[in-house]
Amino acid sequence: MQKESVRKIWIVSIYAIAMGFLEAAVVVYLRKLYYVNGFDFPLKGFIEPSVLSVEWIREFFTVVMLVTIGLLAGKKFYEKFAYFVYAFAIWDIFYYIFLKLSLNWPSSLLTWDLLFLIPWPWIGPVIAPLICTVLMIVMTFIIIRFYDKGKKVSINWKEWTLMIVGVILVLYTWMYDYGKLIFNGGYAKDFFSLTGNNDFYIAVSNLIPQTYNWPVFILGVAFAAAGILLFYLRMRRK
């Protein structure tokens, strides 16, 4: 890896680690205010609607910040994409590290977590997103390596298809439980006012995830990994 690329990796890493701490700090405050009994399911606590709206917006702009560092670090499209993916992965890893240091949580890598809130809550074992971060970091270094070799980097439609299908399958496993609650419970028609719906609050307060859909998750990871592998082999032959 060229010296310039190493320098960028360090800068993006420091930025993402700092973001991971800020994200963990927000969760510490939310737990202090709303989840004094901890984050174990069922979640006994409910963020008031006005605060939840701010939390949604905060999560959106967290992604914007990660995209921005990618745009600043890279010069060409796939290089920018690689640094964004890398920043996202490092941010997620250190988010859990700082939560462990601050709250001694999660108790294990199989602990269920509320992963994201947009457009509805995602849940899954902590290890699931961490597995995905490994693929993201691998993809980043592959792309940067080929740029450093002076190659014209591109991802073809077959590779994109495999990776996108993989992402969709993984997201399905994270979004299924709350999606099922919303649509099967008849809450979809009032989707934008759910934060003030007492019946929905009761349903959420009683939601206990039973089993994680590991087969679909593994299939999703396999699809994404296959796309990355095909991309690597094709670029290496150039």
Count structural domains, the chain. Answer: 1
What pLDDT sits at residue 185? 82
Residue 3 — left, alpha, or beta (φ > 0 → left; ψ -120 to 50 → alpha)?
alpha
Tokens 């006005």, residue located? 50
The candidate with the shortest Cα–Cα distance to 170, out of 204, 133, 144, 197, is: 133
Close Cβ partners of 23 (under 8 Å, ≥ 6 residues apart)? 62, 91, 95, 98
Radius of gyration from C-alpha coordinates of the chain:
19
Token pair for 172: 């399905």
3-state per-residue secondary structure call for the chain: CCHHHHHHHHHHHHHHHHHHHHHHHHHHHHHHHHCCCCCCCCCCCCCCHHHHHHHHHHHHHHHHHHHHHHHHHCCCHHHHHHHHHHHHHHHHHHHHHHHHHHHCCCCCCCCEEEEECCCCCEEEECHHHHHHHHHHHHHHHHHHHHHHCCCCCCCCHHHHHHHHHHHHHHHHHHHHHHHHHHHHCCCHHHHHHHHHCHHHHHHHHCCCCCCCCHHHHHHHHHHHHHHHHHHHHHHHHC
Stated pTM of the model: 0.92
Token pair for 132: 């995905």
The tens place of each residue's pLDDT in the chain, 238 residues long, gives 899 999 999 999 999 999 999 999 999 998 888 877 777 787 766 677 778 788 889 999 999 999 999 999 999 999 999 999 999 999 999 999 999 999 999 999 999 999 998 888 899 999 999 999 999 999 999 999 999 999 999 999 999 999 999 999 999 999 999 899 888 888 888 777 776 777 777 777 778 888 999 999 999 999 999 999 999 999 998 7
196, HSE (Cβ side, Cα atoms, 13 Å): 6
Q: Are 147 and 153 in contact (CB under 8 A)?
A: yes
Range of the domain at 167: 3-237
What pLDDT sits at residue 150? 93
What pLDDT sits at residue 52? 79
Token pair for 70: 């990618």
What pLDDT sits at residue 16? 98
What pLDDT sits at residue 45? 64
